[in-house]
C-alpha cells in the first residue's frame, strides 16, 4: 500500500502516524533510535506491507502488471490502490479527504525533526503537491507516478501507468474492492493486539 492507505490504516496517535510514514526509510538497527510508539508505527507499516505482499488478490494484480512495469509492478499497484481509496473515500471515512490530508500533514510536519532526511523531503513533496487528495483523479495520479519515474534507478515506464489504469480500470477496481476490506480487518486486529500489549 502507498502513503494514503498507510496513514488511513494507522492508529490515530501522532507518534504511530510518524512511524508509519517513515518506515520505508528506517533501515536495520536505526529503528532503535526511536521511542516505542514510533517503533510500533514502523512495525505496523511493515505488517501491512507483508499482508499485502502475500495476499492472493494483490499477487494476481502484480502478475497482470509485470509485463508492463517489471520490478516496479508492486509500486504501480500501490499507487492504483491509493487512487481507489481516494476516489471512493466517502465509503471508508466520515472525515472529508481534504480535512484528513490537512490533519496528516500537520501531524507529520510537527514531528519533522524526528524523521530521516529522505522522509522529510518526501513529506515536503507530498504536501507541496497535495498528492493525498490528488490521488483521486487520474491527472493527479499521473503527476505522482511521473515523479516516481524520475527517481527510479532503471527505466520503469511508470509515467505511463495512469494510462494503463484508464485502459483496465474495472480490473484494478475489482482487485481493490476485493482486497481492501480484508486489509482493513487485518489492520483493526493488529491495532487491537498492539493496544492490548500496551495495557499489559
CA distances for 126 relative to 51, 83, 134, 143, angstroms: 25, 14, 10, 11
Q: Which residues contact 117 (CB under 8 A, 6 or more apart)?
A: none
The pLDDT score that the predictor gives to residue 198 is 58
Give, as one character, the DSSP assignment of residue 156.
Answer: -
Q: pLDDT confidence of 155, banded at 50, 70, 90? A: confident
pLDDT tens, residue by residue, 92-148: 999 999 999 999 999 999 998 999 999 999 999 999 989 999 999 999 999 889 888
Whether 114 and 38 have beta carbons less than 8 Å apart is answered as yes
In sequence order, what DSSP letters do the residues of 52-101 get, joined into one string? HHT-HHHHHHHHHHHHHHGGGHHHHHHHHHHHHHHHTGGGT-SS-HHHHH
Angle, vertex CA 187, rays to CA 183 and CA 190, nearest 5: 140
Share of the chain above pLDDT 70, in %: 96
User: For 27-43, b where at least 16 C-beta lie within 10 A, e where not — what string?
Assistant: eeeebeebeebbbbbbb
The pLDDT score that the predictor gives to residue 199 is 46
Mean residue pLDDT of the chain comes to: 92
Residue 126 to residue 100: CA distance in whole angstroms:
14
Amino acid at each position: 500500500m502507498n502513503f494514503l492507505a498507510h496513514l488511513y490504516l494507522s492508529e490515530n496517535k501522532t507518534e504511530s502516524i510518524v512511524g508509519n510514514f517513515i518506515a520505508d526509510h528506517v533501515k536495520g538497527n536505526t529503528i532503535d533510535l526511536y521511542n516505542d510508539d514510533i517503533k510500533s508505527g514502523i512495525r505496523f507499516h511493515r505488517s501491512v506491507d507483508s499482508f499485502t505482499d502475500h495476499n492472493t488478490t494483490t499477487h494476481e494484480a502484480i502478475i497482470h502488471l509485470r509485463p508492463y512495469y517489471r520490478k516496479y509492478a508492486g509500486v504501480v499497484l500501490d499507487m492504483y490502490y491509493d487512487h481507489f481509496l481516494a476516489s471512493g473515500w466517502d465509503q471508508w471515512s466520515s472525515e472529508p479527504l481534504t480535512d484528513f490530508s490537512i490533519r496528516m500533514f500537520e501531524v507529520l510536519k510537527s514531528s519533522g525533526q524526528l524523521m530521516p532526511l529522505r522522509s522529510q523531503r518526501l513529506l515536503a513533496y507530498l504536501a507541496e503537491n497535495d498528492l493525498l487528495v490528488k490521488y483521486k483523479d487520474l491527472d493527479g495520479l499521473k503527476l505522482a507516478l511521473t515523479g516516481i519515474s524520475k527517481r527510479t534507478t532503471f527505466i520503469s515506464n511508470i509515467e505511463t501507468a495512469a494510462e494503463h489504469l484508464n485502459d483496465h480500470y474495472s480490473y484494478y477496481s475489482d482487485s481493490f474492492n476485493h482486497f481492501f476490506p480484508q486489509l482493513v480487518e487485518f489492520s483493526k486486529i493488529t491495532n487491537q493486539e498492539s493496544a492490548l500489549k500496551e495495557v499489559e
